[in-house]
Amino acid sequence: AAAEKGGFDSFMAKEIADQPQAVADTLLGRSDEDGRLILDELRVDEAALREIDKIVVVACGTAAYAGMVAKYAIEHWCRIPCEVELAHEFRYRDPVVNARTLVVAISQSGETMDTIMAVRHAREQGARVIAICNTHGSTIPRESDAALYTHAGPEIAVASTKAFLAQITACYLLGLYLAQLRGNKSPGEVTDILGQLHAMPDKIAKTLEGLDQVRRMARWMADTRSVLFLGRHVGFPVAMEGALKLKELAYIHAEGFAAGELKHGPIALIEPGQPVFVVVPSPTSPLHPKVVSNIQEINARGARTIVIAEEGDEDVVPYAQEVVRVPQTPALLAPLVTVVPLQVFACELAGAKGLDVDQPRNLAKSVTVE
Ligand code: G6P
């Protein structure tokens, strides 16, 4: 087993380090030499895809957070309304789904029963279903109209990391494909965004190189009882994922919030010493000053603010106890780098508590029962 971990303490640590490759492999072979997007495997009737008037992403756990990122990208690029729903909720509430609905089922394993049931329900209503999946020949892609595979390689640790980044990457590809097919983006625009995507593996690698500070923080904070995570826009699902990782691995109470919601409730939780991670949007985003003012507010109430911010973003410095740097990225693609410090934090903190990082208590890699 030690050899399989490639010198890392855990499969999870190895899988976090493998993320630049997982994203690169998921992009590989999906564009031609002119930079045009080619998704040959997506054998869904193109005429039907032009007719769809709604997209519903269904998934569970970490995959559902990838779906939330998909929603921001798909609506922005394709102008098709897109909802994200936990597969187990979707299945049992009589959702409005018909032949003009595209359902996107995201699952690393392809065997999550809740997601399988959502796929079956959607197809019974006449919806087209595209699976985004990491496991060839598994149930979800077999039961879908088409599959877009993530190429993260086998993921052993129960808590998902590299599969998550690969899922987000595949969601971007699907969004671009639909935008291209439906004429919302010109070939030149698609090529530009693909170029930005191809630059992400190096940025993820660069993020990974700068995380000793996060590891040190995790060790200091091993006896922390509660951690909050704030994010906005695509940083919101990243905050939720950061909280989920900490619950799953370190058994610490953690919650992710949309930063704009702070004043509507969560700010009541802020007291001196409360650790709060804040995922800051790029300074190019109109949301940047709003999140900086959130940091200011929680800092003024004595919280211990740990800020994930782009290189060169100096506005956050006066209000942050710690600033973790990530490379500059286009705003929509930021989750591929901003989630990485949060994964490393949870992994390191669980290790510092002496917990089994790869097999947290009570959890299964793939939940094949309802
Ligand atoms: C389980 C795992 C999670 C995973 C979720 C969905 O709960 O512990 O890490 O995110 O299932 O799994 P899937 O294979 O459908 O992506």
pLDDT tens figures, 224-249? 999 999 999 999 999 999 999 999 99
- Ligand 1 atom closest to the Cα of residue 363 is 8
Instruction: State the pLDDT at residue 42.
Output: 86
- C-alpha of residue 109 to centroid of ligand 1, in Å: 7
Residues involved in catalysis: 365
Q: 167: Cβ below 6 Å to ligand 1?
A: no
Q: Of 129, 91, 137, 87, which Cα lies nearest the Cα of 110?
A: 137
**Position 209, amino acid:** E
Classify residue 339 by burial, with Cβ atoms within 10 Å: 0-12, 13-18, 19+: buried
DSSP-assigned states of every residue in 130-182: EEEESSTT-HHHHHSSEEEE-------SSS-SHHHHHHHHHHHHHHHHHHHHT
Mutate to test the pocket of ligand 1, among 112, 158, 369 (most ligand atoms within 8 A of CB): 112
**Position 4, amino acid:** E
Instruction: State the pLDDT at residue 4.
Output: 85
CA–CA distance, 146 with 46 (Å, rounded to integer): 12
CA-to-CA dists, residue 358 to 64, 167, 195, 245, 364, angstroms: 21, 20, 34, 12, 10
Number of H helices, E strands in the chain: 14, 10
Q: 276: Cβ below 6 Å to ligand 1?
A: no
Q: 107: Cβ below 6 Å to ligand 1?
A: yes
**Position 280, amino acid:** V
Q: 61: Cβ below 6 Å to ligand 1?
A: yes
Instruction: State the pLDDT at residue 43.
Output: 82
**Are residues 310 and 340 in contact, defined by beta-carbon separation less than 8 angstroms?**
no
Q: Of 353, 351, 327, 356, which Cα lies nearest the Cα of 340?
A: 327
Q: 141: Cβ below 6 Å to ligand 1?
A: no
Which pair of tokens denotes residue 265? 């409730």
Instruction: State the pLDDT at residue 369.
Output: 85
Residue ranges, the chain, pLDDT below 50: none
Instruction: State the pLDDT at residue 1.
Output: 67
Query: Which residue minimizes the CA distance to atom 3 of ligand 1?
Result: 61
- C-alpha of residue 18 to centroid of ligand 1, in Å: 19
Confidence (pTM): 0.96
- C-alpha of residue 339 to centroid of ligand 1, in Å: 17
For residue 94, the tally of other CB atoms under 10 A from its CB is: 9
- C-alpha of residue 115 to centroid of ligand 1, in Å: 10
Instruction: State the pLDDT at residue 68.
Output: 98
- Ligand 1 atom closest to the Cα of residue 140 is 15
What ipTM was assigned to the predicted interfaces of this complex?
0.93
pLDDT, one tens digit per residue, over 35-83 is 889 888 888 888 999 999 999 999 999 999 999 999 999 999 999 999 9
- C-alpha of residue 162 to centroid of ligand 1, in Å: 12
Backbone angles phi, psi at 57, to 5 degrees: -95, 130
